[in-house]
C-alpha cells in the first residue's frame, strides 16, 4: 500500500469537546474566560487563564487530572490504532496546545501512533505554571491568511506537509476536522485527497456554502463510529486503487477479459 497520511484536528474531532473550554469550565474559571475573550485572541486568553488559575492555587497536576477525564467517543482510539497498524502516517494539526494534546493522547495510549503534532507551543515554567504561545508570532510575522485566526494558519501547515510528501513520493491525504479553522486546509487538498468534515459543525457549513472551491473528495461524518467506518473504507479504497496500478499490463489484460457480443441474425 502506498503510504497514506491522515491529518486529524484534535478538539471535537479526536476528543468530543474543546479542550480549552473543558479545562476552563472544570476548574471553575468560565466567567473570567468569557470576560477576557472579547479583549484578545483566543490563544492569548488561554495563556492568561493559565496564569490566573495558577494564582488561584490550581496546580499543573490539577490541569492534568482534568485533561485525563476528557470525553471521547469509544471508537476513536480503535480507529487511530487500526489506521496506524495498517501503515498510515498519522498527524495532528490543532489550534489547542502541545501540553493538553500530549497529556490526553498519552492517557489514551495513542501517543506513539502520531508522527507529528502541529499545534501551539506550551511549557511548564519554573513556577509550575503552564505557558501557551502562538504557533505563529502574529505580532512580528503575521501569516496573512484572512480565513484563519492570527495565531495559526492550518493551510500553511498542509502546504508544508504536501511539499514533504511529494519529495518522499507519497500521495494521499485524508483530513478530518470540525472547526472553521479547518476550511483553509481543505482548500489546499488535491483531487486525489479526501476531506472529512464533521457534519453540522462549522467547517461542514463552510464547505456546503463553497463546495465548488474544493477539489478533494468529501465524506462527512457524525461521530466516532461514523468516523471509523469511513476512514477504514477510504483506506481500503486506496489500497485497491494502488493494487490495480501496480499490476503488470499483461496481467491486467489476462485477468480482465472483455466479452465481445456475438452477432445476432435478424429475421425479416
Distance between CA 59 and CA 64 in Å, rounded? Answer: 9
Pick the closest to residue 116 from 137, 138, 91, 133 (CA basis).
Answer: 91
Identify whether the C-beta of residue 222 lies closer than 8 Å to the C-beta of residue 198: yes
What are the strands, taking DSSP E only, across the chain? Answer: 5-8, 89-97, 114-120, 122-124, 130-132, 173-177, 194-197, 217-218
Length of the chain: 268
Is 20 annotated as a binding-site member? yes
- Between 149-158, 197-206, 234-243, 249-258, the lowest mean confidence (pLDDT) is in 249-258
Tell me how far apart the terminal alpha carbons of the chain are, to the nearest angstrom: 57
Dihedrals phi, psi of 167, to nearest 5 degrees:
-65, -30
Pick the closest to residue 4 from 250, 196, 252 (CA basis).
Answer: 196
Is 95 annotated as a binding-site member? yes
Its pTM stands at 0.88
Is 137 annotated as a binding-site member? no
Is 9 annotated as a binding-site member? yes
pLDDT computed for residue 253 by the predictor:
36
Distance between CA 242 and CA 3 in Å, rounded? Answer: 10
Q: Compute and round to an integer the Cα radius of gyration of the chain.
A: 23
Distance between CA 236 and CA 254 in Å, rounded? Answer: 24
Three-state SS at 255? helix
Is residue 193 annotated as a catalytic residue, yes or no? no
Convert the pLDDT of each residue in 177-199 to its tens digit. 999 999 999 999 999 999 999 99
pLDDT computed for residue 245 by the predictor:
61
Q: How confident is the model at residue 262 (pLDDT cuts 50, 70, 90)?
A: very low
Three-state SS at 9? coil
* Catalytic pick among 9, 89, 182, 193: 9
Question: What's the mean per-residue pLDDT of the chain?
Answer: 90
**Looking at the predicted structure, is the pLDDT value of residue 241 above 50?**
yes
pLDDT computed for residue 246 by the predictor:
53
* Catalytic pick among 11, 18, 89, 193: 11
Is 200 annotated as a binding-site member? no
**Looking at the predicted structure, is the pLDDT value of residue 33 above 50?**
yes
Identify whether the C-beta of residue 128 lies closer than 8 Å to the C-beta of residue 60: yes
Distance between CA 140 and CA 150 in Å, rounded? Answer: 11
- Section 225-240 average pLDDT: 95
pLDDT computed for residue 248 by the predictor:
52
Half-sphere exposure (Cβ direction) of 262: Cα atoms closer than 13 Å: 3
Convert the pLDDT of each residue in 75-91 to its tens digit. 999 999 999 999 999 99
Distance between CA 83 and CA 7 in Å, rounded? Answer: 12
Is residue 11 annotated as a catalytic residue, yes or no? yes
Amino acid at each position: 500500500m502506498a503510504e497514506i497520511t491522515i491529518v486529524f484536528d484534535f478538539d471535537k474531532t479526536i476528543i468530543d469537546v474543546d479542550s480549552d473550554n473543558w479545562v476552563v469550565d472544570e476548574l471553575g474559571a468560565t466567567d473570567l474566560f468569557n470576560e477576557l475573550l472579547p479583549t484578545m485572541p483566543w490563544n492569548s486568553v488561554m495563556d492568561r487563564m493559565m496564569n490566573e488559575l495558577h494564582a488561584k492555587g490550581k496546580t499543573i497536576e490539577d490541569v492534568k487530572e482534568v485533561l485525563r477525564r476528557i470525553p471521547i467517543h469509544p471508537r476513536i482510539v480503535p480507529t487511530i490504532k487500526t489506521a496506524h497498524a495498517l501503515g498510515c502516517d498519522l498527524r495532528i494539526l490543532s489550534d489547542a496546545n502541545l501540553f493538553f494534546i500530549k497529556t490526553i493522547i498519552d492517557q489514551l495510549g495513542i501517543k506513539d501512533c502520531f508522527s507529528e503534532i502541529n499545534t501551539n507551543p506550551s511549557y511548564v515554567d519554573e513556577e509550575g505554571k503552564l505557558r501557551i504561545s502562538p504557533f505563529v508570532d502574529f505580532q512580528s510575522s503575521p501569516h496573512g491568511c484572512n480565513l484563519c485566526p492570527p495565531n495559526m494558519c492550518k493551510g500553511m501547515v498542509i502546504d508544508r506537509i504536501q511539499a514533504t510528501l511529494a519529495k518522499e513520493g507519497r500521495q494521499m491525504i485524508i483530513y478530518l476536522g470540525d472547526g472553521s479553522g479547518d476550511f483553509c486546509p481543505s482548500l489546499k487538498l488535491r483531487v486525489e485527497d479526501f476531506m472529512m468534515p464533521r457534519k453540522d459543525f462549522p467547517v461542514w457549513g463552510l464547505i456546503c456554502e463553497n463546495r465548488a472551491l474544493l477539489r478533494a473528495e468529501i465524506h462527512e461524518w457524525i461521530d466516532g463510529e461514523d468516523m471509523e467506518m469511513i476512514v477504514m473504507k477510504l483506506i481500503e479504497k486506496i489500497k485497491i486503487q494502488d493494487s490495480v496500478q501496480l499490476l503488470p499490463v499483461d496481467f491486467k489484460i489476462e485477468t480482465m477479459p472483455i466479452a465481445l457480443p456475438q452477432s445476432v441474425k435478424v429475421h425479416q
